[in-house]
Structure 1
């Protein structure tokens, strides 16, 4: 990008739903200022718009410029941003089928001034689509991305990449751009300084392409980023795909997720194999946000082969991925199998639905080592609230909703949070996060060395350094500052 994006703090950030951790925006702020103080430089507040509990846990906003009043208002967002970075989602690909604009299109069809804002089959293929055109469209779920609807008395094939309740936008049209711009304006006025472009890879529908990460997608992302930079904000692009595609995307955007890291770390800790991590560290981009778990499932497309890059092997071979998925199912005592794929709605082809803690069999030592590896990998570390609290799969919530990803979206009440914060594995994570946030060595250079099942990561700035040494075969580890042991697999160092 030719312009200069604003700088942001690169310390750890929390990922949380306000209603599921804290109860609302004010409650989330109280946790960050209270028991979580000193651990995080920022927070990614998952969708808090109207409504936050729609068909896709807030990723189907009816009104993207309004805070759901059950959670607070924009003043509450502004107060949350005082002294910390706030990240929020700009849901650029779609809106709720219940949005007022689309409701007007349902009633009036092409007579509605909002009709050009929404995509139908003919919006992209005005001369009609061939079988080859339709078969080539990339989609994260089975079937074609269209829903038969009646618009103004006329039957139409409306473009719905994810679910029939989420109507895709035509970002080529001024109505759609003005809508997205109004969302960015509203957020940045409330102090949001990092914008997560949700599902942006699907926005560039072009004939003769896969309709995923096309030139139009890059052009739109660049336009949004420039608009955000003018408002003192940066953008994080959320794209799942082949790892080489991520490397390419990173060259054109502010920030990308390191979605390859979670399955590679799981593979290392369950198969005793650091070779894929070594290969990834050699090529991964530096402008990344690292995660172990998020509100979605654990991705495997990010380390595997992909139809988007035919002939290019992944970071893990197909047999390694199959073995990893089966180990996750075994470690979770089968609960992840009941939440994944055809076993649950909101079907995703490339994710295993499981908490990261259960994916490692509830093994505190292996889980803590996974977190330390994340914190020592270059990038901005984000920690999901369920992972922070070492949560188990919520099978009761899965049974209530039938949505596979809900196993990793537990609703914590106050007593549960307090109880979780007393667990040694949670206290150790907070200690590691505070170290990552405050130690000056993390502002310097990082060097990784692997040898068989052993690894060493050293951050150094000036004469100061911090080193993580570990062995994935038995999950032993130490964090040292010179001769001083800060943390070990035996117990966290005294505060």
Structure 2
């Protein structure tokens, strides 16, 4: 069972400049006791593909440049360890797809990959193509000529280097089963189902989060559970979809929380945040920042469904983030950089808040007091700012928030008041017993109070957004202590 403690999200090489062993040393040294678990971002061969490991050539092997399965075992010995099951696709450079390119339908791996004809055997109308929900601009098909002389339209939901898997056929099932078995044998106890909402495609639909997708997630979760692992569904969609998905898997991400916290801080208004906290799934992971951008659609309207924020509020939110980052995020978002998502703003959370230490700590405090198990991204842990040099070098928008760190950078960061304060907040979240109890939230306008209670112990966060004043109050029977959040920056 997953520990109810803060987890770290990180790449092995980008946080240390080295490998999995160096990450283990960091977590047993300067960060000892800070985290209860680690989401180790793709460590498969290769870690430096076109999508930073989310386009694996070999999903069942550790990239030898950063370690081995034995290193994974050691890392997961005392910590919860999460790994990505990349459900939807595999690299075009994989030996399986290269064989398909060489032989066409004569390849033994032909069935592993999804083509347009698999879903639309009688042809696809223009209306059917427009109906397909896609996270990135352009067509979701890439025509490729194979060695048999024929050109086939392969399904490429994300990029033309990420070829979609046919998860309905035996070859697709066997491919994913092999990865699951590897995880189970090497101390991975949590599986993140990456891009799972796109896995099932069906003619006449938008090919995203279909009824059949829910059933598929059900089965995949049960399979992982039988191997001793929990599952997390990674899906960016309307907030009501998250509520429904939460009923089908062990846990979901609360992707609505990051934009709602920003909205509250930008407008001194907690109403949308409190509305969400009343109905949000309790079996969730909370994040503010991740290896991707800051999700927007999760709080906004979708089609005829109203959002937690309306279209104008979403526009204001995005523009304020751009302004706070001195338009750096604008350079990394949308058509300004390659490999972009339509529903995310690429920016560090720290810069989205204008690099204001108190606002950043307050946003983390709200995250830690919200229902769910919190995760902190490595860039967020060290309050990193936008990496414009890396963005310029790669022109990959999300690299603005995927910095390469080393021991010297980490040592300096650990001495920054905002980082020290964040670590103190993490320790409170990890140690106070009331976080295993009942949650309640109340307030309106610019004020709110988030509380947890277990027997005679309570802990609460009271915030006045307008005055930028926040107190953490702990009660144990007749004893009461209060901490001003500003004191964490002293």
- What's the TM-score, normalizing by structure 1? 0.96
1:294 to 279, 290, 294: 290
Paired residues of 1:477 and 1:489 also in contact (CA < 8 A): yes
Structure 2 Cα separation of the partners of residues 250 and 234 of structure 1: 13
User: What does residue range 141-160 of structure 1 map to in structure 2 within 5 Å?
Assistant: 141-152=136-147, 153-160=149-156
Counterpart residue number, 1:140: 135
Asked if 1:184 is matched to 2:173, the reply is no
Structure 1 Cα separation of the partners of residues 92 and 224 of structure 2: 27
Asked if 1:196 is matched to 2:192, the reply is yes
- Structure 1 window deviating more from structure 2 (483-492 vs 87-96): it is 483-492
For residue 473 of structure 1, give the secondary structure of its aligned residue in structure 2: coil
Structure 1 Cα separation of the partners of residues 488 and 481 of structure 2: 9
Post-superposition Cα deviations, 1:428-477, rounded to whole Å, max 9, x if no partner, equal: 11111111111111111111111321111111111111111111123221
1:451 to 441, 444, 448: 444
Structure 2 Cα separation of the partners of residues 463 and 260 of structure 1: 31
Post-superposition Cα deviations, 1:370-419, rounded to whole Å, max 9, x if no partner, equal: 00000000101011010111110000000000001110001101100010
Asked if 1:68 is matched to 2:63, the reply is yes
- Structure 1 window deviating more from structure 2 (366-375 vs 437-446): it is 437-446
Asked if 1:216 is matched to 2:212, the reply is yes
Give, in angstroms, the shift of residue 113 of structure 1: 1.2
User: What does residue range 41-440 of structure 1 map to in structure 2 within 5 Å?
Assistant: 41-152=36-147, 153-306=149-302, 310-440=303-433
Give, in angstroms, the shift of residue 490 of structure 1: 2.6
Counterpart residue number, 1:492: 488
Structure 2 Cα separation of the partners of residues 420 and 238 of structure 1: 30
For residue 214 of structure 2, give the secondary structure of its aligned residue in structure 1: helix
Q: List alignment gaps of at least 5 residues for structure 2.
A: none
Paired residues of 2:39 and 2:81 also in contact (CA < 8 A): yes
User: What does residue range 464-483 of structure 1 map to in structure 2 within 5 Å?
Assistant: 464-482=457-475
The number of residue pairs the alignment matches comes to: 485
Paired residues of 1:486 and 1:492 also in contact (CA < 8 A): no
Counterpart residue number, 1:12: 6
For residue 209 of structure 1, give the secondary structure of its aligned residue in structure 2: coil
* RMSD of equivalent CA atoms: 1.2
Structure 2 Cα separation of the partners of residues 290 and 93 of structure 1: 23
Paired residues of 1:487 and 1:493 also in contact (CA < 8 A): no
Structure 2 Cα separation of the partners of residues 136 and 431 of structure 1: 48
- What's the TM-score, normalizing by structure 2? 0.97
Counterpart residue number, 1:3: none
User: What does residue range 31-42 of structure 1 map to in structure 2 within 5 Å?
Assistant: 31-42=26-37
Post-superposition Cα deviations, 1:125-184, rounded to whole Å, max 9, x if no partner, equal: 111111111111000011220111012321111110000000000001101110100001
Paired residues of 1:36 and 1:430 also in contact (CA < 8 A): no
